[in-house]
Amino acid sequence: MHSDVSWQRFKQFPRLMWIFLFGSFITRGSYYMVWPFLAVILYEKFALSATEVGMVLSSAAIISVFTSFVGSSLSDRIGRHKLMYLTGILYIISFSLLAEANSVEGYVVVMTLCSMATSLWRPLTSAAIGDIIADPKTRELAMQSLYFIVNVGCAVGPMLGVWLGLTGKQSSFYLTAVAFAVLLALLYWGFNHQTRQDVALAAGASSNDNLSGGTSGTESDGASGSVNDMTSDGVNRGVNGLSSDTETSTKKAAVVSRKQIVAILLQDKLLQCLIFANILCMFIYAQMDSSLIQYLTRAGAPDLLTLISGMIFTNAMVIISTQFLLLKLMARFPLVKRIQIGLLLLICSQIWLAFNPLDLFWGWIGAIVVMSVAETILFPTMNVHIDRLAPDHLRGAYFGAASFYDLGFALAPLGGGIILDHFGGQWLFLTGAVLSVLVIYLYSILDRLPRPDFAMFKAD
């Protein structure tokens, strides 16, 4: 299936999609004012080694991965918007506490809460997009747009933080808490609008059926059944599956048991290989957020905060400026081929980072440009890949399983810290290049791997 970028497709986005986009912008912008600088804060406040900093960052992230899988699977049963409200509240509490943490133990506990909230929110949002947009091409554009707007926030956040004097300041986490409070208010408004719209659509369908069905009891019953079918379809994205009416009837309709979900995921060898490949890919990418910053900090790179902010800004700006252009250029390629092209660019960036002189400012920026082009191709395509693999009634479970990608992010600070302490920065990036080659191989064998027969798993 080819991609399609057009204004007509943007006009098909429902109001809730625009709320997701705006909310992602304000939350990511405030988040990136300070989160990437946590490694610097921990090093300067507590004089921790690279391995110890990595352990603090990794321990929080590892716990959150399993929370994400359980929460996302539950979203298919109890409703995504309820879990989104709870996750938003967890965000507000955890980021407010992080603004006040003053011990290593406090950082570990609160960062775990923050990571849990983050890892729950991402798959919930991706699955929700699949619920509210029926057309596959429009849905792919929506996921690409979400990734685009997140990176606009990533570009604006650090630069705005520098301008306001907030970059790297712990108190800036209060801004993230406020941003999520605003987003929750918008979601409440959006979900209520969605509910009213669904009721109106159901009423309109009922009226049309009654007019066409006449006044006989049998025909009237048939019309009623038609409306019930429309409102009880758990993944009726034409009626926008996130309203409370639809979610309530989802639970009354077909629900796959937890045991069946686990059985399906265990039988889907293609999904398992894909998850392992993407864990490795995320491990490589996460070095930019943790180990690269640690390496530059400990090696005494000149103009450190300017360099770190510049790399974050460059990463986001490359994605913003090239994402939809690359989407059009790559439209003729299958998803797996796009990912393999991105991985080749990733290998080039890792080799560049490995041999760049410490004091060559624009060399670091150049390597990040190449890495960012690779990211622009890879990351949104991974979400689209999962969306196309997932059966409609297991969308939350599949995106929850895909959240195990985050194990790569979780293990990256610890693994990168150990490599830095024992082998140095050059070996860190050469390791990333070798792992990228392995990921290319794993993607090349995906089509040969078996998948379950979904028809065998009947809903309870």
Query: 119-123, 302-306, 328-332, 455-459: lowest mean pLDDT where?
Result: 455-459
What was the pLDDT predicted at 31? 74
pTM of the entire structure?
0.66
Question: What's the mean pLDDT in 239-258?
Answer: 46
b vs e for 412-424, b when ≥16 Cβ sit within 10 Å of the residue's Cβ?
bbbbbbbbbeeee
Res. 167: pLDDT tops 70: no
Res. 447: pLDDT tops 80: yes
Sign of CA dihedral 144, 150, 153, 157: negative
What was the pLDDT predicted at 237? 39
Query: 82-96, 235-249, 265-279, 442-456: lowest mean pLDDT where?
Result: 235-249
What confidence category does residue 253 fall into, taking pLDDT thresholds of 50, 70 and 90? Answer: very low
Average pLDDT, the chain: 79
Burial class (CB in 10 A: 0-12, 13-18, 19+), 405: buried
Question: What's the mean pLDDT in 182-203?
Answer: 81
Report which listed range, 54-63, 140-149, 413-422, is most confident: 413-422
The angle at the Cα of 81, spanning 115 to 411, to the nearest 5 degrees, equals 20
Q: Report the Cα–Cα distance between both ends of the chain, in Å, rounded.
A: 32
Neighbours of 215 (CB within 10 A): 7
Burial class (CB in 10 A: 0-12, 13-18, 19+), 47: exposed
What was the pLDDT predicted at 241? 40
Res. 180: pLDDT tops 70: yes
Res. 366: pLDDT tops 80: yes
Spatial distance between the Cα atoms of 105 and 90, rounded to a whole number of angstroms: 19
